[in-house]
C-alpha cells in the first residue's frame, strides 16, 4: 500500500513515474513532491537534489533487475507487476540518451553478464564464445521493445511497459532463446565465417 511506504520510498516511486513520463530534464522537484504528497524541501532533505533523486531511481532499477532472477511463477508475477514503473523509467532514460542513461545501460550489461556466467556455472545457460557480446545482445533485445514503444505497442496491442505486453514479448523471446528459432546452423556458420575473416 502506498500509505505504508516511507516518505523516502514514496518520493522515489513518484520520481520513477514522473521521470518515466516527462524525462529527468522535463520533471521538476516540485512536481515530484506534489505527486508524492510531500514538500519540495523534504525531497531535497532525502536526496539532496534532482540529480540525487535520479541516482536513487537508477539504483532502484538495478536492484529490481537483480531481484528478477527467480523462475518461480508466483514470485515472477509479483516482480513483473511491480516493474511497470521501472520499465517506463528505463524507456524514457534510454530515449533521452543522457550520460546517466549510458552508465545505467552499462551497469545493466555488467550485471547481466555476471548473471549469465552464474547460469553457465549452474548448467542452465549454454556456454558462449563471446560472453560480453552475449550480454550486450541479451540486454538490447530485452530493452528494444521499450525504446520502440509506439511501434511495438501498435503491433502487440498495448503499452510495452505494461505487464501484459511485456510478458507477451518476453515469452516469445524466451521461447526463441530456449528452444531455438532456426532448425539448422546456416546463418550461424555464415556469420562465424565473416567474424573470422574480419579478425
Cα–Cα distance, 99 to 119 (Å, whole number): 30
Cell numbers 516482480 label which residue?
79
Q: Does 172 reside within a domain?
A: yes
Q: Does 107 reside within a domain?
A: yes
CA distances from 193 to 19, 70, 138, 188 (A): 44, 37, 22, 9
Q: Does 123 reside within a domain?
A: yes
Query: What's the pLDDT score for residue 84?
Result: 82
Q: Does 40 reside within a domain?
A: no
Residue numbers of the domain that contains 62: 57-197
3: number of CA atoms within 13 Å, CB side?
0
- Using left for φ > 0, alpha for ψ between -120 and 50, and beta otherwise, residue 66 falls in alpha
Give the chain's domain count. 1
Per-residue pLDDT of the chain (199 residues; tens, 9 = 90+): 344 568 999 999 999 999 999 999 999 999 999 999 999 999 999 999 999 999 999 888 888 776 655 555 565 666 666 678 888 888 898 888 888 888 889 988 998 999 999 999 999 999 999 999 999 999 999 889 888 988 999 999 998 888 889 889 989 999 999 998 999 999 999 999 998 888 7
Residue pair 57/16 in contact (Cβ under 8 Å)? The answer is yes
Q: Does 20 reside within a domain?
A: no
Query: How many C-beta atoms surround the C-beta of residue 157 within 10 A?
Result: 10
Query: What's the helix, strand, coil split of the chain in %, to 5?
Result: 80, 0, 20
Q: Does 52 reside within a domain?
A: no
Q: Does 31 reside within a domain?
A: no
Element of type H or E holding 84: helix 84-96
Specify the CATH number for the domain of residue 67. 1.10.357.10
Query: What's the pLDDT score for residue 43?
Result: 96
Q: Does 21 reside within a domain?
A: no
Cα–Cα distance, 122 to 114 (Å, whole number): 12
Residue pair 156/168 in contact (Cβ under 8 Å)? The answer is yes
Query: What's the pLDDT score for residue 2?
Result: 46
Residue pair 131/122 in contact (Cβ under 8 Å)? The answer is no
Quote the pTM value. Answer: 0.77
Cα–Cα distance, 54 to 50 (Å, whole number): 6
Amino acid at each position: 500500500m502506498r500509505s505504508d511506504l516511507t516518505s523516502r520510498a514514496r518520493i522515489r516511486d513518484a520520481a520513477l513515474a514522473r521521470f518515466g513520463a516527462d524525462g529527468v530534464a522535463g520533471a521538476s522537484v516540485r512536481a515530484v513532491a506534489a505527486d508524492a504528497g510531500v514538500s519540495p524541501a523534504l525531497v531535497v532533505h532525502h536526496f539532496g537534489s534532482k540529480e540525487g533523486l535520479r541516482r536513487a531511481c537508477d539504483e532502484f532499477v538495478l536492484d529490481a533487475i537483480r531481484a528478477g532472477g527467480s523462475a518461480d511463477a508466483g514470485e515472477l508475477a509479483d516482480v513483473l507487476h511491480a516493474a511497470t514503473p521501472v520499465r517506463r523509467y528505463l524507456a524514457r532514460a534510454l530515449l533521452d540518451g543522457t550520460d546517466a542513461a549510458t552508465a545505467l545501460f552499462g551497469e545493466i550489461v555488467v550485471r547481466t553478464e555476471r548473471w549469465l556466467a552464474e547460469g553457465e556455472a549452474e548448467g542452465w545457460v549454454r556456454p558462449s564464445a563471446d560472453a560480453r557480446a552475449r550480454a550486450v545482445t541479451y540486454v538490447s533485445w530485452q530493452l528494444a521493445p521499450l525504446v520502440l514503444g509506439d511501434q511495438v505497442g501498435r503491433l502487440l496491442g498495448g503499452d510495452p511497459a505494461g505487464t501484459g505486453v511485456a510478458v507477451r514479448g518476453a515469452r516469445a523471446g524466451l521461447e526463441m532463446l530456449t528452444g531455438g528459432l532456426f532448425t539448422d546452423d546456416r546463418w550461424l556458420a555464415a556469420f562465424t565465417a565473416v567474424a573470422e575473416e574480419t579478425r
